[in-house]
Amino acid sequence: MSLAATEPKRSLLIPGLFTLVALAILIGLGTWQVERLSWKEGIIARLEARLKAEPEPLPPSADWAKLNLADEDYRRVRVSGRYEAKEALIFRGSGKVAGQTSQPGYWVMGALRLADGGAVLVNRGFVPLSWKDKPHDLPPGEVTVTGLLRAPEDRNMFTPADDAAKGQWYTRDPVAIAAALHIDRAAAFSIDEEAHAAAPGEPAGGATVIDIPNNHLSYAVTWYGLALTLVGVFTALVWKRRRN
């Protein structure tokens, strides 16, 4: 074989190896995103089924420690009890009050005492910032709350630190809030009360924000598209070398 014939083959060796490695990585990433797509669609399907299901009685407080909160999140429940005169306000950067535009405010977390002695924090709804400075009464007597069982809220690097001493809360953390308010036998979860008719200025429930992004299909298309582009670039390189 002549030197002229072997030179193009040698010159394509390194680009060819690089292309194979990069192609394997890109295809692997695309396939991983397809698998993630199936996983995310399963989560969304389960969530939609839970939101449409009939509410179940909240388990007795003796069984709360056995609950896997990750598996119970967003489950519709119903519970009866009496509100104690203990309340926490969790700051939210935006929320809506009936008839008003989105604005900063608070989630109102009330302590509901059950007949068996346990207590659960109930997110009664969103209120504007002015709520903090106005007198307001708790619902009297025994009430029945229907809503979504919620696991503690995750923090991120942008979440301000809670200040229990000043009553400044930025995260739905039932254990920390219950400890600060001296609520005994409190659940490690909370309940987001569903929307209901309420007196003007009172929280009306329905504060749950459901936002589960599902961009895995577009990510998979991107990775597979890059893999196809890489094949095209290498093919063009081979064609050019052979032509020369």
113-172 pLDDT tens trace: 999 999 999 999 998 888 888 777 788 899 999 999 999 998 888 888 989 888 899 999
Report the pLDDT value the prediction gives residue 5, as an integer from 0 to 100: 52
Which helix or strand (DSSP H or E) is residue 120 part of?
A: strand 119-128
Comparing 111 with 102, which gets the higher pLDDT? 111
Percentage of the chain surpassing pLDDT 70? 94
- Contacts with 102 (C-beta within 8 Å, 6 or more apart), sequence order: 94, 95, 96
State mean pLDDT over 179-203.
89
Q: What is the CA radius of gyration of the chain?
A: 28
Pair 105, 126: CB distance under 8 Å:
yes
Distance CA(127)–CA(90), nearest Å, equals 10
Helix (H, G, I), strand (E, B) or coil at 176: helix
**Average pLDDT, whole number, for the chain?**
88
Torsion of CA 169, 174, 176, 177, to 10 degrees: 50
Report the pLDDT value the prediction gives residue 7, as an integer from 0 to 100: 56
Distance CA(227)–CA(22), nearest Å, equals 8
Torsion of CA 36, 40, 46, 49, to 10 degrees: -140
Pair 95, 124: CB distance under 8 Å:
no
Amino acid, single-letter form, for residue 171: T
Report the pLDDT value the prediction gives residue 184, as an integer from 0 to 100: 95
Helix (H, G, I), strand (E, B) or coil at 234: helix
In the chain, domain spans: 3-47+215-243, 56-193
Taking the model in full, what pTM does it have? Answer: 0.78
Instruction: Give the sign of the dihedral formed by CA 113, CA 117, CA 121, CA 122.
Output: negative
Percentage of the chain surpassing pLDDT 90? 55
Tens of pLDDT along 2-37?
545 555 555 778 888 999 999 999 999 999 999 999
Distance CA(244)–CA(238), nearest Å, equals 10
Q: Which two tokens stand for residue 47?
A: 């969530």
